[in-house]
Every structure is written in C-alpha cells, then in structure tokens.
Amino acid sequence: MRRALRGARGFTLIEVLVALAIVAIGMAAVMGALTSSANTISYLRDKTFAQWVALNQIANLRLSGQQPPTGNSNGDTDFAGRSWHWRQEVVTTQVPGVERIDVSVRPADVKAGDDNGWFTTVSGIRGDAIGTPNGFQPDWGTQTSSGLPGSPGTLGGAQTPTTTPVTPTPPLPRPGPQPPPEAQ
C-alpha cells in the first residue's frame, strides 16, 4: 500500500525545475527565430523600397527631357512614409549620346560614409543614340512617317505578303507494337 501511495504522489521539485528549464530554453529559441525573421522581413521591405526609390529617380531623369550633368549628386526624398537619401553618379559611356546612371539609396536615418551603408544600387541608361557608333546603319526597311501607302515593304504599302509552299511531313510511328506493313 505504501508503494501505491508513493507512486501516486507526483513529480519532485527537481523534475519540475528541469522541465521548466527545458521549456524556457525552447521558448527562447522560438522567440529568437521569430525576432530574426521579423528583422529579415523589415530589411527586405526597406531594400525593396530603396530599389523603388532608385528606379523612380532614374525614371524622373529620363522623363525630364534634360541631359543630366556628369558626376555625382545627391538628395533626399520621401517614399512609403519614410525619408530616403540617394546618391546618383552619371558617367559617359563609349557610345556617343548615352550615359550610365548609378543611383544608390539608403534610409535617411542611416548614417554612413559615401561608399558604404547603401541598401541598393540600381543602374540605368539614358541617351539619344539610335545606332552603333561605328557608322554602320542597318537597313531597317523604308517606312513613311504618315503611314499612308508608300513604297513596297512599308506599313500601308501595296506589297502583298509572300508565302512559301509547305510540304506535308509523313506521320511519325506510334509507340508500342506496330502492325505489319501490309495491314497499314
């Protein structure tokens, strides 16, 4: 009878403390993983917004119609409820009339040097070159600016499309057992 009462008493204090320690360590690991995940999501959101700010800056330069000066410039803009600092570098390329634009963006509250701390750098091209710089102009066809009937080969010209005859190909054999040739 004593043995039956002894087995029904429950856990000792040491066993309860060990179980609580195991649960606390497990909960700390789960909280650490959740915190890390939340920080990663926040960073990726900010990186995405920084890329959008850079793309908007390049689009504004293209839409302005003015040739941006070569060199570095910087500024601040508000986007998605946050202030962003951007730096743009305009560099001439080997193609006349074409410039490369590199825009680096970071949150305005991040204090860092000119060469670090940027969340993203986006490159774009702006220019008015329409051909290769070697002087060779490919023959893109003759087109009239009004779209009215013109010379053959134009959009609205009198040229009819030519077609080449297509010869039918024999059917491919089906997989599996084939009937004898005389039964086909």
**Cβ–Cβ under 8 Å, residues 126 and 99:** yes
The dihedral sign for the CA sequence 41, 86, 116, 112: negative
| Cα gap 182→179, rounded to integer Å | 8
> 76: closest CA among 110, 42, 100, 113?
110
> 107: closest CA among 162, 56, 61, 48?
48
pLDDT band at 50 (very low <50, low <70, confident <90, very high): very high
Domain count, the chain: 1
Q: Each residue of 66-119: pLDDT tens digit?
A: 888 889 999 999 998 999 999 999 998 887 778 899 999 999 988 887 778 889
In a domain, 35, yes or no: yes
Contacts of 119 (CB under 8 A, 6+ apart): 46, 47, 50, 105, 106, 107, 110
Q: Each residue of 128-152: pLDDT tens digit?
A: 766 555 665 556 556 555 544 444 4
Q: What is the CATH number of the domain that holds 43?
A: 3.30.1300.30
- 80: Cα within 13 Å, side-chain hemisphere: 13
pLDDT band at 161 (very low <50, low <70, confident <90, very high): very low
Q: Per the confidence metrics, is the pTM higher than 0.85? A: no
In a domain, 108, yes or no: yes
In a domain, 159, yes or no: no
The confidence score (pLDDT) of residue 7 equals: 53
Domain that holds residue 34: 10-127
In a domain, 113, yes or no: yes
